[in-house]
Amino acid sequence: MADNATSIEKQRSMPRYGWETRDRIIKPSEIYNEDKAREIMERFKTVLAAARGFFLTIGAKELDEVLKRIEQYLKR
């Protein structure tokens, strides 16, 4: 879970609209492709499943319900 979560956290610091350089702006589409986006989403799903499993083992049903809703949004 930690390895996958670390990878996802790094994505948070990536600029949404691109990286400004001296000569031009590098668009995210130049770095990310469909395969990379799919890989990131799969890692997120792995972390989400692990978190749900953990919260279920400690009896935190409210948190499990929140994570279940997040899973439903991801399936859309």
* Contacts (Cβ under 8 Å, ≥6 apart) of 42: none
- Give, to the nearest 10 degrees, the angle between helix 61-74 and helix 34-57: 160
Q: Tell me what the mean pLDDT of segment 39-59 comes to.
A: 84
What range defines the domain where residue 12 resides? Answer: 2-74
Domain count, the chain: 1
* Mean per-residue pLDDT of the chain: 77
Residue with tokens 């390895």: 3
Is 71:53 a contact under the CB 8 Å cutoff? no
Q: Identify any residues that bridge with 19 across adjacent strands, giving them in sequence order.
A: 26
Alpha helices in the chain (DSSP H): 2-12, 34-57, 61-74
Q: What percentage of the chain reaches a pLDDT higher than 70?
A: 76
What is the arithmetic mean of pLDDT over 40-58?
A: 84
Specify the pTM: 0.54
Mean pLDDT of 16-30: 76
Q: Predicted confidence band at 8 (pLDDT cuts at 50, 70, 90)? A: low
pLDDT above 90 covers a percentage of the chain that reads 0
